[in-house]
Amino acid sequence: MLKLKQEQLDLWETIFPKESFKLNDELEAVDQILSDDQFFEPYFKKYNQVIGRPTTPVDTYHRMMYLKFRYQLSYEQLEREVNDSITWRRFCRVPFQELAPDGTSLCKLTKKYGESVIQRINAVILEKYKDQKVIRGKKLRTDTTVIHANIHYPTDAGLLTDCIRTITRTVAQLQKQGVQVKERFQSHLRNAKKTLLRLAKSTRTKARQRSEIVKKSNQKLVGLTKKVMQKAQAVFQRAQQRQSAAIKKIRAQFKKTCKITRTIIRQTEEVLNGNPQIPERKVSVFDTGARPIRRGKAQTPTEFGRKVILQEAENGVITGYHLLSGNPAEVGLIDQVIHNHQQVFGRLPEEFAADRGYYSAEKETALQALGIAKVCIPAKGRSSPQRRQYQRQYWFRRLLRFRAGCESTISNLCRMFAFRRTLSRTEHGTKTWTSWSIFAYNLWRYAVWAT
C-alpha cells in the first residue's frame, strides 16, 4: 500500500528544545520545496494500491535519497546517519520512536520506482524554478561528460580471470542447493591468478620479452576458460531435472555468464591473431553495457562507462540530460538539445553556447535560421581573419564565459553528488543513478538561490 506522508505526530518534539530540531539553511530550503504535494503525483498515478503493507513514506524516501547523493553515502551509511542525527531525523520526517527505513528497503524502492518516476520528479523541480522566474529559457549551454562504470581497468587476461571466477562462483551456488556433482569440478582459479601475477611482474622486463609473455599468458587463460566453461556446462546438464525457483535463477545467471564469456574469448583470440581493433568490444563481465570512450583527455585518454549529455539554462540549473549509446560525435547532438529545450520551455533559446566539438558551419547557419540570435560555438582549427574578427565580438566572448560554467557544473556533480562513478551495473540502473544525482544537484542549486 502506497504511503505518501508520515502523518503521526511526534510527541518528542514537545519535550526537546526547539533549537535541537532547527535545520541549516540548505536543508530548510530543500524541505520547503519537497513539501509540495506535486512530488507525489508520479507515485500516485502508477503505484496507488490500497491493500498490503504500507510502504516507506514517499516524502521520507525523497529526503533520504537527497542526503544519500548530496553527501555520497551508501545505503547502510545513510540509514546509520539518519538514526544517529536529530536534525536529519527531523528533515527526513522519521519519528523518534521509529527507526529509519532500512538500507535494503531503500535499494529495493529505487529499483522498483526506476528512472521514469524520478524523471517526472525532476520535471516538477524545473516547474518550480520556472514559477519562481529563476530560469526563463533565454540561454542554453551544453556539454558532454562520462559517468564511469564501477569496473577495474579491463585487460584480456583480467576479463578471462573474471569469467573463470564468475563461473566457479555460480557452480558453488548450484552445489549449495543440494545438486550432487559426480566428478570433482576443477575451477583452475589458482592457476589463473598465478598467470595474472606473472603478467604483473613482466612490467619490469623489456618490451619485446613482455609482449611474448602477454601473448603466452593470454593463450593459456583462453584454454583455462574454455575448460572451466565446459566442466560447468556438464554440471548444469546433470541438474536439468531440478526445477526449483532458486536453481532456475542460477541457471539463467549461468547462461548469461556463458554468453559474455564466449564473447570475451572470441575478442581475445582476435587480438592474439593480430587484430586489436574490435568494434563493440566488451570491457566488463559484470557491466556489459560499459563502453571504452576516448575524448582526447591527457590525464585519462580512455574512460570506461557511458557518455552523458547535459544542458543548462540560466543560474546553472540542469534542464535536460540523456545517456548516449557509445561515443557519438558532439556535432550530431545539437538537434536533440534544441528539441529538449523546446519541450521544457515551449520556446527556442535566444543564446546558445557550446564548445568547439559541436562546431559545424552548416549547424551554425541552421541554428541562426531557426531564430537563435546568438550562437557561440568556436571554430575548429586555424580560423580565417573574418572568423577571428567574428569571435572577438563582445557578446561572443561573454557567451564563451557563460559556456565555461558547464565545466563547473560537471565538477560539482562529480565532487559533491556521486556523479563521477555509478554503482549500478545496468544501463537502466545507470539512468536511475544519473537522475537521482541531478535531482540532488538541482535541489541544492535551489537552496543556494533561496538563501
The domain that holds 419 is classified in CATH as: 3.30.420.10
Do both 350 and 430 map to the same domain?
yes
* Position 220 in a domain: yes
pLDDT of residue 55: 81
Q: What is the domain count for the chain?
A: 3
Do both 174 and 247 map to the same domain?
yes
**CA dist 313 → 17, 65, 125, 310, 322 (Å):** 42, 24, 14, 10, 16
Helices marked H in 132-180 — which ranges? Answer: 156-176
In what helix (H) or strand (E) does residue 352 lie, and over which residues does it extend? strand 351-353
* Position 400 in a domain: yes
* Position 2 in a domain: no
Confidence of residue 367 (pLDDT cuts 50, 70, 90): very high
Do both 142 and 163 map to the same domain?
no
Q: Please state the rounded mean pLDDT for residues 401-408.
A: 95
In what helix (H) or strand (E) does residue 293 lie, and over which residues does it extend? strand 291-294
Do both 169 and 108 map to the same domain?
no
Do both 18 and 45 map to the same domain?
yes
* Position 284 in a domain: no
Contact criterion met (CB below 8 Å) for 229 and 258: yes
Do both 145 and 187 map to the same domain?
no
More confident residue, 47 or 380: 380
Contact criterion met (CB below 8 Å) for 137 and 345: yes
Which of 204, 237, 272 terminates a domain? The answer is 272
* Position 277 in a domain: no
Do both 160 and 142 map to the same domain?
no
Nearest to 141 by CA among 5, 317, 385: 317
Per-residue pLDDT tens for 79-99?
999 999 989 998 999 888 889
Do both 446 and 307 map to the same domain?
yes
- Counting Cβ atoms within 10 Å, is residue 218 exposed (0-12), middle (13-18) or buried (19+)? buried
In terms of residue numbers, what domain contains 266? 156-272
Confidence of residue 10 (pLDDT cuts 50, 70, 90): low
In degrees and rounded to multiples of 5, residue 140 shows phi and psi of -145, 130
Q: Quick one: what percent of the chain has pLDDT higher than 90?
A: 66
Strands 139-148 and 351-353: parallel
Do both 140 and 166 map to the same domain?
no
Do both 162 and 103 map to the same domain?
no
* Position 28 in a domain: yes
Tell me how far apart the alpha carbons of residues 185 and 169 are, in angstroms, rounded to a whole number: 12
The pTM (predicted TM-score) of the whole model is 0.91
Q: Please state the rounded mean pLDDT for residues 225-242.
A: 85
**CA dist 136 → 141, 200, 319, 336 (Å):** 13, 56, 11, 19
**CA dist 173 → 99, 190, 241, 285, 342 (Å):** 34, 19, 17, 18, 52
pLDDT of residue 8: 57
pLDDT of residue 401: 96
* Position 125 in a domain: no
Q: Please state the rounded mean pLDDT for residues 20-29.
A: 88
Q: Please state the rounded mean pLDDT for residues 21-38.
A: 91
- What per-residue string of b and e applies to 375-388 under the rule 16 or more CB within 10 Å gives b? bbbbbeeeeeeeee
Nearest to 282 by CA among 297, 270, 296, 298: 270
pLDDT of residue 67: 97
Do both 56 and 146 map to the same domain?
no
Do both 164 and 141 map to the same domain?
no
Residue 147's DSSP bridge partners are: 306
pLDDT of residue 211: 84
* Position 144 in a domain: yes
Confidence of residue 286 (pLDDT cuts 50, 70, 90): very high
